[in-house]
A and B are shown apart, each in its own frame.
Chain A
Amino acid sequence: MNWDLLGQLLMNGLIIGALYGVVAMCFVLIYKSTQIVNFAQGEFLLIGAWVCWWFLTTWELPFVVGFLFTLAFMTVFGIVLQTVVLRPMIGEPIISVIMVTIGLSLFFQAGMKWIFGVNVQPFPKVFETETVEIFGMMIQTAYIMSLGISLFIMIGFAWFFKSSKHGLAMRATAFDQQVAQSLGISVKNVFAMAWAISAVVSAVAGVVIGIVNGVSDTLAFIGIKVFPAVILGGLDSIIGAIVGGVIIGLLENFAEYADGQWFQVGNMYTIAPFYVLVIILMIKPYGLFGTKDIERV
């Protein structure tokens, strides 16, 4: 066995998995507070990455400034999306709203292709050294930044939901909108906040992956990858999203290793998470941490 390669792949898996976890958390955040399964989650990454790329190349802003501008843009984007497109859908059957998110996903993908073209565009050089060596493994600097950011976001989410006034309001709204309203919580604001946070945090993941792989519409595929992670962890569990994300990331990379070493099929990397999706749905449909009585779509 090639232990070096395995170690390297598992390390990558952990880092990518943490990113999946972060995106999965955003997905769960929207599901929990608004009951909407957001099929346009991957496009949030795509838009975030393209916007950041645009700031860095066309405007030639320094990375930190461009990145902050991107976050500001995504906040506005999330709020506008919720207010203009999704707020009028409140009270409509949930399946209609899900259809709308599928429509949004197609719309954004096409829009990004129209604006930025169909080619993979590399990010301008962000870090002086592109890889660093840790324990004999070569790791992309962007990935280390990504791991740091992922951890920061996870801790931030934990603090937000446990201790902040808005987190408490969001949990209350997720549980019962009518009651939350009777306690002075504006459900509209909570929904807008959920979409804004989700868009911003997804964009961070999009930028990180964009730095490593270049920006192209394959980024949107992360939105689909997140499904196995979320189903594995439980559709309404924030912790589950993280655990699910990390497991899927590790599994993916292990599948690549196993494929390369033994099976020689060639695309197990892409397929493996979806086997897990099917198996989990068969044996534990509520996921590892999910609530038993939640609705399935």
Chain B
Amino acid sequence: MTGQTPILEVNDISLRFGGVRALSNVTFDVKKGELFSIIGPNGAGKTSLLNCISGRYSPQEGSIKFNGQEVTKMTPNHRAELGMGRTFQNLALFAHMTVLDNIMVGRHHLMKNNFLNGGLYWFGGAQKEELLHRREAEDIIDFLEISHIRKSVAGTLSYGLRKRVELARAVALRPDLLLLDEPMAGMNLEEKEDMARYICDLNEEWGMTVVMIEHDMGVVMDISERVMVLDFGKNIAEGLPDEIMKNDYVKRAYLGVDEDDEAEGEVA
């Protein structure tokens, strides 16, 4: 599945908030079709990095290319139109809308009819288009197994389901690149397994390149093709899951190797 052409090239970006350096000279690229994970302790700058990619923050230095196109100065909505979808760390569903409406918002940029020719609903092709988008939405709903709640108001759903609806909304954009910020946080084991399966399917069957931030090492090592480790805003390691597993820093930080054995002689 993984090709050689990079879909996303992040080149030497730095992001500062006043005196705080959130990201320093981070460089990496993601190949088309890849499932790429970013790990790191809290406050390492993972979400800031994702926000730079999706356009919520703009880095002071460096450049970001998406599909070979320079996007560093583009607005988030323009990037979404180019084919970047994302989910958020804290649930960001439109709580008063139904699940279906949430997903239809995701179809927004794909709908061509504006509200002038939308007035010619039955003649101008608007009806045909809407049916098409509804069918697409239903496909996504089926795929994520949320058809039983499609008419429910999003705010009333359980946490795990809301996460799934958020994923559905991002998928509705039909993005080439899907940015997931902790898609499994706060889920139980079963929900995590389901989510991991959806992400793998989206990657393999729907052909979406995935960049994911996740804390659950088991899942990350299991499904990722490559992993990048971020700490204090710096890219400290990048490679195949196996290589990352062997990395001393990662062992200490995540895999529960006894610090006394491993890090003897370091500052306690």
- Min Cβ gap A51→B in Å is 22
Q: Is the CB of B80 within 8 A of A175?
A: no
Question: In whole angstroms, how far apart are the Cα atoms of A179 and B86 in the complex?
Answer: 9
Interface size, chain A (Cβ < 8 Å): 20
| Cross-chain contact of A175 among B76, B95, B111, B114 (Cβ < 8 A) | B95
Q: Is the CB of A184 within 8 A of B77?
A: yes
Is B229 in the interface zone, CB < 8 Å from A?
no
Contact-residue size bin, chain B (C-beta under 8 Å from the other chain)? 20 to 34
Q: Is the CB of B108 within 8 A of A183?
A: yes
Report chain B residues within 8 Å CB of A176. Answer: 92, 94
Question: In whole angstroms, how far apart are the Cα atoms of A1 and B165 in the complex?
Answer: 60
Report chain B residues within 8 Å CB of A164. Answer: 115, 118
Q: Mark B77-121, 1 if CB is under 8 A from A, else 0.
A: 110110001101000101111000100111011010111001000
Report chain A residues within 8 Å CB of B56. Answer: 178, 181-182
Q: Is the CB of B101 within 8 A of A182?
A: no
| Cross-chain contact of A165 among B76, B97, B111 (Cβ < 8 A) | B111
- Min Cβ gap A93→B in Å is 19
Chain B residue at minimum C-beta to C-beta distance from A189: B77
Question: In whole angstroms, how far apart are the Cα atoms of A178 and B92 in the complex?
Answer: 9
**With A165-B118, A168-B101, A182-B56 as given contacts, are A175 and B96 in contact (CB-CB < 8 Å)?**
yes
Is B173 in the interface zone, CB < 8 Å from A?
yes
**With A164-B118, A166-B115, A168-B101 as given contacts, are A185 and B94 in contact (CB-CB < 8 Å)?**
no
Q: Is the CB of A184 within 8 A of B109?
A: yes
Contacting A at CB under 8 A, from B35-88, are: 54-56, 75-78, 80-81, 85-86, 88
Chain A residue at minimum C-beta to C-beta distance from B133: A165
Q: Is the CB of B173 within 8 A of A184?
A: yes
Report chain A residues within 8 Å CB of B118. Answer: 164-165
Question: In whole angstroms, how far apart are the Cα atoms of A127 and B126 in the complex?
Answer: 37
A residues adjacent to B (C-beta < 8 A): 160, 164-166, 168-169, 171-172, 175-176, 178-187
B residues adjacent to A (C-beta < 8 A): 54-56, 75-78, 80-81, 85-86, 88, 92, 94-97, 101, 104-106, 108-109, 111, 113-115, 118, 169-170, 173
Interface CB pairs A-B, < 8 A, 12: A165-B113, A172-B94, A175-B94, A175-B96, A178-B56, A180-B105, A182-B54, A183-B80, A183-B106, A183-B108, A184-B108, A186-B78
